[in-house]
Structure formats: structure tokens, C-alpha cells
Amino acid sequence: MSASTPLRVVIIGAGFGGLEAARALARAPAEVTLIDRHNHHLFQPLLYQVATAALSPGDIAWPVRTIFRRQRNVRVMMAEVTGIDTAAREVSAGPGLRVPYDALVLATGATHSYFGRDDWAPVAPGLKTIEDATDIRRRLLLAFERAELTEDEAERRRLLTFAVIGGGPTGVELAGAMAELARHAMPREFRRIDPAMARIVLIEAGPRLLPSFPEELGAKARQSLERMGVQVLTGLRVTGCDATGIDCGEERIAASTIVWAAGVVASPVGAWIGAERDRAGRIKVGPDLSVPGRGDIFALGDTATVTDAKGRPVPGNAPAAKQMGQYVGRLLAARAAGQAEPAPFRYRHHGDLATIGRRSAVVELGRIRLTGLVGWWFWGLAHVWYLIGFRSRVVVSFEWLWSYLTFQRGARLITGREPKGGNATPVPGQARALEKV
Amino acid sequence: MSASTPLRVVIIGAGFGGLEAARALARAPAEVTLIDRHNHHLFQPLLYQVATAALSPGDIAWPVRTIFRRQRNVRVMMAEVTGIDTAAREVSAGPGLRVPYDALVLATGATHSYFGRDDWAPVAPGLKTIEDATDIRRRLLLAFERAELTEDEAERRRLLTFAVIGGGPTGVELAGAMAELARHAMPREFRRIDPAMARIVLIEAGPRLLPSFPEELGAKARQSLERMGVQVLTGLRVTGCDATGIDCGEERIAASTIVWAAGVVASPVGAWIGAERDRAGRIKVGPDLSVPGRGDIFALGDTATVTDAKGRPVPGNAPAAKQMGQYVGRLLAARAAGQAEPAPFRYRHHGDLATIGRRSAVVELGRIRLTGLVGWWFWGLAHVWYLIGFRSRVVVSFEWLWSYLTFQRGARLITGREPKGGNATPVPGQARALEKV
């Protein structure tokens, strides 16, 4: 590639990784095309707050175009990629739409995995997109409304039982936020039911919560949740899910609302290019994040699996996706300019954090561990800081302050039609841990 | 009714009228049941701002329960009324759910009327509910995205043509907000199209805009819209609507997005009780807003038609609905307490107002008429004032200030599935004019 012809870079996915890759190419002699099937970038770490009515969708999502309006070498396309022709070096995105590339970046993220039980998806939706979040919000709020109407005591108990499957950060944060909603935001508003009597069950197949965090923080999270009234069931494997509840072997939990936070699988983009993948569908990439045998295709974030220069597997969270995106963007900028490409990718772990409802969070920053109120403040500041744009920082700060002072929720709307089940198409990568300290 | 047994009042509809009726019963010896098929009260005068991505749904809607959490004699039910048994004095709201009443208030509002052409509904949605607004928002924003992708010049022009049918306040405000969105919020973000080239057409069958306002203000509105680049076509009757455009007799307007703001029809509740109705389906009520021959059933807002004590027809707007709700609430409070019922209903007209995009509005307050920037400030303050609750006032003020300073829009999200057509079920009453000065 001569330095006088711009390098045509196509990036699929406007999640944390894709966004950083495009940004890192800002001053490079490159023509960047960023394709996403949504018009917005989503700040997924706060999606559970939309699902529990604390924030509005518009607070945590921004049009991708707005983000890149000043970076003139980026063209944003809202389109669904339907195939990749690696021989012709073209991406297909619907009828008649073919986008040629010199370099291709796959940043299409992951979606829920039901471990072969996709029939559970309609009754146990996962939380990946805004539509998922407003769907879960509708289910949650409708359950309270229906409990207020029914005369049947057993049905009322079932309606007020909410189950979260999966004890990772998403499951822990969701269960905590549900307990908050029931205990603090709803009381005094109903006349027949007491929303504080809602039963929230968090089910984890493994022996403890937050398996990716230090053991001490997992125990602390369990303690906080139990103090909020969440029933934490570890070592319990779900064997069945239907519209009225969950089976865990012999045990039956009658529940109105089930949320799936137990597993993810990479988007199918790896299969399209015939790349080698691990069991979770992630492409096994080389130390420069390129697909082995194809120096012009890169994969990152939840689409890729890689062991970094120090021999440790890179985790599937937002900071890792951002670092990988920055790395690939810099590599391609060097390539476009005809300069030497950088040394292999190295992941910098800055910490992990998760919040558990009102005034409690667990934070791990290397040797520093924060819990309780201090952890919660740190968590809040870090998340507000990483929200994109001044406007959302101000709105989210205000919404949180308001909820904190009044116990009310700002977005308690039941919208859309009746529950219609989960979403099983690829979306930008999941994000969880802490970016920088 | 003895004063010792509480009067059982059932109110159907939590729009402006129903809400005021329930509030006016706060200190009465009454048991109030407020039924709505949504969980939220909607501030409909600002719904067009959700449709044009300026505000989020959560900014203009509040759970009905939250509004009444301190008024302990109100029970809120989220349910869809399926029938009224006037002999047994019971309201049916789904299987097994029957609510007895001593007095019944019908405040179920109106929905779009296609004047017998209901086949137009899927291609020309109206604007009555949050789902309508997010549907129109999706259509609008998707049209720009698709225009950016297409290679076909005629198709691009069609995609960038937006038509509003109906030159009343809703149509005028929508057309103005669409012009703003295209000219101020979008430019610089696309690479192939210039959103400012979007064609916005406002079609009115009658001879002028804002027929219910003084003629001078209708002319002013037209002037403002034309200065913003909106094409105003008066005296033009729509004879056909389909997925690719509009027919007006011989003339064909190819358009991607059509919004129906041309007419409303009352909810079918009048038919259920066999009441006499006008051509728009509104129940002809007596001077105390009761249904003739049924002293225990009242109708108000867009569900009713009434000539007030001064012989003038009461308009179909939010202030009128609120005044009617207050009147019926006070009448029933007197009845519950065994006191004399009030004199016939009298409508107080305080003024009319409509806004036309950025920094322009028309306001009529009796002899005072405000236009341009002064009118716009008045309009903004009045609407923020009438939003329910401190939280929304602050959030909406901030969003508006932000948009004003930056020209950006805070809620430009394409969510939900593909356009699925209009909504033709009864909703709480439309609101338009100015409440008080």
C-alpha cells in the first residue's frame, strides 16, 4: 500500500472496541467506514439501570454519527452486514450494498448464550440492547401491576418473584437494582400489594458470585445483596425455564420475570470468514489481533480470544475492548503511513467493579479494594466520567442525585407491546470492568 | 347515598381530565378507582418533541401511581376496560375483573380519525401515545440513514421528503420541529447527503393553518414555517396514501415519512353505554357534564361534546379537559358529602398557543398576541410550568437549554423493530391550548 492512496479500513460494530479503532485512525491517511446495525453506540455497563427504570435509553446511548461528526475520514453506515467476501475484499450489507476494504476490523461483540437451550430465550431474555432493556423493564413493571389486580394469592406470589440467572457482574447488578426498585421506589404507591414483599432470587451454578473477581469481593457482594433481601442461590443449576417459572433439578421456583445473565457467545462473524474459533465462538487471533493467515483482518473485544504478551487471557469487558480497539487503530494508522507496526498487544488490567444497589459497590484496583459506600461513590464517579459527552454526564448525574434523594425512579414507563422474547442477533461487545484509575 | 358510606367513583382514563377529577375528590368521602390501560400519564402537548428526538419518553410521562401515592382514597388500576354494565353499575376490565361504581367518569379521550380510510393508518401514523412517537422518530431517523446509503437519486429525494397531513397545532408544531431537526441537528454528520436539503411538506385541506386560532396567528405561523423552509400547501385534499407517498388529486408527492395530524375521533366508550353521540363520536352531555338520562355517568374532555353556559362549544384541548375534570370531581365531592351540587359547567378560555421550531411561537391570550421570540419564551415557560413534578421540569429545561446552545438533540435513537403502522385504540385526550396565564 503506497502512502499516497488512503488505506480503506472497514470496521464492523460501533461498540467500545470499534469506536476506539476508528478514533485511533483520526490522523491517519485512511478512509474509515464504520458499520453498525444500530444508529447508536450504547454504554452497556449502565444498561441494567434502563432495565430497572432508573435511567432512560437516551441517557446511555448516542448516535454514532454525532460522535464522529468532526472526524471527517470516518463514514458511518447504519446497515446489517450479511457477508464478507475475503477473496474480493468486500463486505456485503444488504442488497446492492458492497463496501470494499484494504483492512477489515471485526468488532461485532457477543450475544446471550443459552447453552443449546434457545427455547428459553422468549421466557428468560438477556440484556444486551436497548430493546432488551425496555422489554425487561416492561416485564418487571407489569408484574407489579398484575399482582395488584389479581385476587389469587399464589399467583400474586408468583408475579412478585423475579429471578436472575447468572452471578457475574450483570446478574449481581441487576438483582441489586431490582431489590432497590421493589423496596425503595415502589412502596406507598400500591393499595393491595406491598412491593417490598417481592422475592428476588439470584441463581448461580458455580460455587460463588463474581467468579472473575477476587474471592473476598464475591463474598462481600453476596453479603450486600442478602442484606437488601435478595435470595442468593449458588451451586444451583437451572434445568428448565418456562413462562411460569424455573426448574433447578427437583426444585421449582414460580416466577413472573426471569432474566438471563448466565452466558454469552460471540457473534457469528468468525464463521463467515472461516476462522478458527473457541467454544464461545470467539476468533483465535494472533498477538497483533489479526486473524491467523489473514494479515488484513483483525478481530477484537468479545469477538476475539487472545492471550496477551504476558500469557494471560484478555477478559471480555469494556476496558479490554477499548484497549484492543486502540491497538488495532494504531497498527492500521502505522500501516497506512508506511511506518513500522507496533509491538504485540498487551492488556493493562486496571481493576474490576460492580455495584449492588443503593450505596454499595465492590471495587478492585490491583491491591486496593473498596467496598460499601466508598466503593459506591467510586463506582458512580467512574461511570459518569466514562459516559460520552457533557450532556449525558449532567443528565445522568442529575437523575442519580434525584433518585438518591427521593427514592423515586425517573423512567418507570411500561411501553411497547406485550413481551415478545429475547433477541438473538449480534450486538456490540459487553462491557463491565473499570477502564483506568 | 348516605354520607357515611363512601361514594364509589370509577374514572376511566388518566389523561388531563381524569387526573383532575380524581384530584378534586381528594378530601371527599369517596373511594376513587382510576383505570388506564397505560401505567403513565402523558403530557401530550410535548409528544411531538419525542417524535422529533428532542425529548425522551421519560421526560413527559409519569406513572399514574406516583402522582397519587399520597392521595390514599385513589386506587390506580392498569387495565383495559372491555365493557360497562350500566344496569349492574359495573365496569369490566378483563377476565374476572369487575369494578362496581356509584358514579362513573368517562375520560377516555380520542384517537386518530382517517375519515373512513383506516387503510392509511399503517403508512400515515398519528401521534397520540409514546409508542406512536417513538415509531415516528424511528421512521424519520431511518429515512436519513437510508438516504445516506442509497445510490439512486430519485429514491434519495423521496427518502428525504417528509409530509405532515393536517394544519392544526399538532401539524404545525411537528412540521416546524422536523425542519429544525433536518436543518440544525443533523448537518455535518452525514457524508453523502445534506440533511438540510430535506423537503418538509405541510398539507392542509382548509384555506389556512391553525383554523381554531385567530386568522392573524395562522398567517404568522405560515410565515415562520416558510422561513424555516417548510412547504405549506393549503386548500389541498389528500386522496390517497401509500408506502411511497401521497396523492392529492392529480398531484403525487413521493415521501418516505407521512404523519397524520388531520383528525380525531372519540374513543368508543359512548357506544358501550348507548349514549347519543355527534359525528366525531363524542357523547352529547348535559350542562353538568352528565350523560342525559344517566345522572351517575359523566363524560369529559375529548370523549364529550358540550356547549357551555355561555352557549359556546368547549374546545378539545388540555385546559378544557382539566376544567371539565375539576368540575366533575367537585360535583361528585358535593354529592358524596350530601351537599348541593354546583351550577352548570362554564369553560374559561385563557388562550391558545403553538410553537414553530426554534425561537418562534404564536400565542393568543384574549387581546394579547405574542409572536416570534417573545411568544417562544412564553410558550417554553408555560410548558415547563405545567409539566408534572420538579424532576421533569429540571430535566426538560436542561434538555432544551442544551439543544438551544448546541443545536444537538438528546434522544436521537432508532429503537424497536421496523415500522409497523398506526395505533387505533382509545387513549387519553389530546391537549393543546394554554391553561392559565
ipTM: 0.86
**Which DSSP category does B340 fall into?**
P
Which chain B residues touch A78 with a CB distance below 8 Å? 142, 145, 148-149, 414
The CA–CA distances, whole Å, from A309 to A286, A288, A306, B115 equal: 10, 10, 9, 70
Supply the pLDDT for residue B425: 29
Does B58 contact A130 at a Cβ distance shorter than 8 Å? no
Q: How big is chain B, counted in residues?
A: 437
B282 in any annotated domain? yes
Look at A15-29, A54-68, A213-227, B364-378 and tell me which has the smallest mean pLDDT: B364-378
B416 in any annotated domain? no
A152 in any annotated domain? yes
Surface of A (91-150) touching B: CB under 8 A: 96-97, 130-131, 134, 141-142, 145, 148-149
Which chain A residues touch B40 with a CB distance below 8 Å? 412-414
Residue (of B67, B84, B106, B140) closest to B388 by Cα position: B67
Q: For the segment A124-176, what is each residue's pLDDT rounded down to a tens digit?
A: 999 999 999 999 999 999 999 999 999 999 999 999 999 999 999 999 999 99
Report whether pLDDT(A427) > 60: no
Q: How big is chain A, counted in residues?
A: 437
Does A408 contact B391 at a Cβ distance shorter than 8 Å? yes
A254 and A370 inside one domain: yes
Place of cell 489473514: A294
Supply the pLDDT for residue B402: 66
Q: What is the pLDDT confidence band of residue A420, given thresholds at 50, 70 and 90?
A: very low
Domain of residue B398, CATH code: 3.50.50.100
A133 and A201 inside one domain: yes
- The beta-strand segments (E) located in A193-301 are 199-204, 230-234, 240-242, 245-248, 251-254, 257-260, 264-266, 283-284, 290-291, 294-299
Does B75 contact A402 at a Cβ distance shorter than 8 Å? no
A173 in any annotated domain? yes
Does A39 contact B413 at a Cβ distance shorter than 8 Å? yes
Say what percent of chain A tops pLDDT 70: 88
A255 and A217 inside one domain: yes
Q: Which of B56, B70, B393 to mutate to test the interface with A (most CBs of A within 10 A)?
A: B56
B180 in any annotated domain? yes
B79 contacts B37 by C-beta, under 8 angstroms: yes
Does A39 contact B141 at a Cβ distance shorter than 8 Å? yes
Q: What is the pLDDT confidence band of residue A1, given thresholds at 50, 70 and 90?
A: very low
Set of cell numbers at residue A369? 479494594
Set of cell numbers at residue A113? 448464550
Is A173 one of the catalytic residues? yes
Distance CA A156, CA A188 (A): 18
Set of cell numbers at residue B317? 384541548
Q: What is the pLDDT confidence band of residue A87, given thresholds at 50, 70 and 90?
A: very high
Name the catalytic one among A80, A90, A151, A173: A173
User: Which of A402 and B120 is assigned the larger pLDDT?
Assistant: B120
Q: b/e map of B261-295 (b: 16 or more CB within 10 Å)?
A: bbbbbbbebbebbebebeeebbbbbbebbbbeebe
CB-based contact, A190 to chain B, within 8 Å = yes
- Ranges of H-type helices in B52-129: 64-67
Does B413 contact A56 at a Cβ distance shorter than 8 Å? no
A314 in any annotated domain? yes
Select the residue of B97, B398, B416 nearest A395 (Cβ to Cβ). Answer: B398
Please identify, among A336, A361, A384, the residue that sits at the C-terminal boundary of a domain.
Answer: A336
Say what percent of chain A tops pLDDT 90: 63
Which chain A residues touch B415 with a CB distance below 8 Å? 57, 130-131, 134
Distance CA A226, CA A220 (A): 10
Sheet strands side by side (includes B90-92): B83-85, B90-92, B98-100
A174 and A225 inside one domain: yes
A243 and A281 inside one domain: no
B241 and B355 inside one domain: yes
Set of cell numbers at residue A118? 434457545
Q: Which of B395, B404, B405 to mutate to test the interface with A (most CBs of A within 10 A)?
A: B395
Region of B192 on the Ramachandran plot (φ > 0 left; ψ -120 to 50 alpha; else beta): alpha
This prediction has a pTM of 0.88
Set of cell numbers at residue B221? 405561523
CB pairs under 8 A between A and B: 120
A269 and A253 inside one domain: no
**For chain B, which ranges sit under pLDDT 70?**
1-4, 357-359, 387-392, 394, 398, 400-411, 416-437
B270 in any annotated domain? yes
Which chain B residues touch A69 with a CB distance below 8 Å? 188-189
A301 and A204 inside one domain: no
Q: What's the mean pLDDT when you consider all of chain B?
A: 87
B300 and B330 inside one domain: yes
B199 and B280 inside one domain: no
Find, in chain A, the residue whose alpha carbon is nearest to that of B56.
Answer: A58
Q: For the segment A265-308, what is each residue's pLDDT rounded down to a tens digit?
A: 999 999 999 999 999 999 999 999 999 999 999 999 999 999 87
Which chain B residues touch A77 with a CB distance below 8 Å? 148-149
Select the residue of A130, A141, A414 nearest B413 (Cβ to Cβ). Answer: A130
CB-based contact, B35 to chain A, within 8 Å = no
Residue (of B242, B230, B226, B152) closest to B198 by Cα position: B230
CA-CA-CA-CA dihedral for A263, A268, A270, A274, to nearest 10: 130
CB-based contact, A385 to chain B, within 8 Å = no
A57 in any annotated domain? no
B151 and B258 inside one domain: yes
CA-CA-CA-CA dihedral for B14, A417, B388, B288, to nearest 10: -20
Select the residue of A58, A411, A414 nearest B411 (Cβ to Cβ). Answer: A58
CB-based contact, A194 to chain B, within 8 Å = no
Please identify, among A311, A336, A361, the residue that sits at the C-terminal boundary of a domain.
Answer: A336
Please identify, among A306, A336, A366, the residue that sits at the C-terminal boundary of a domain.
Answer: A336
Does B40 contact A70 at a Cβ distance shorter than 8 Å? no
Q: How far apart are the first and last CA of chain B?
A: 39
Distance CA B185, CA B49 (A): 13
Distance CA A300, CA A289 (A): 7
Residue (of A301, A344, A299) closest to A323 by Cα position: A301
Q: What is the extent of the structural domain holding B14?
A: 7-37+79-112+264-336
Average pLDDT over residues A34-59: 91
B91 and B128 inside one domain: no
- The beta-strand segments (E) located in A109-222 are 110-112, 161-165, 199-204
Find, in chain B, the residue whose alpha carbon is nearest to that of A78.
Answer: B145
Surface of A (70-99) touching B: CB under 8 A: 70, 75-79, 96-97
Total tally of structural domains belonging to chain B:
2
Domain of residue A278, CATH code: 3.50.50.60
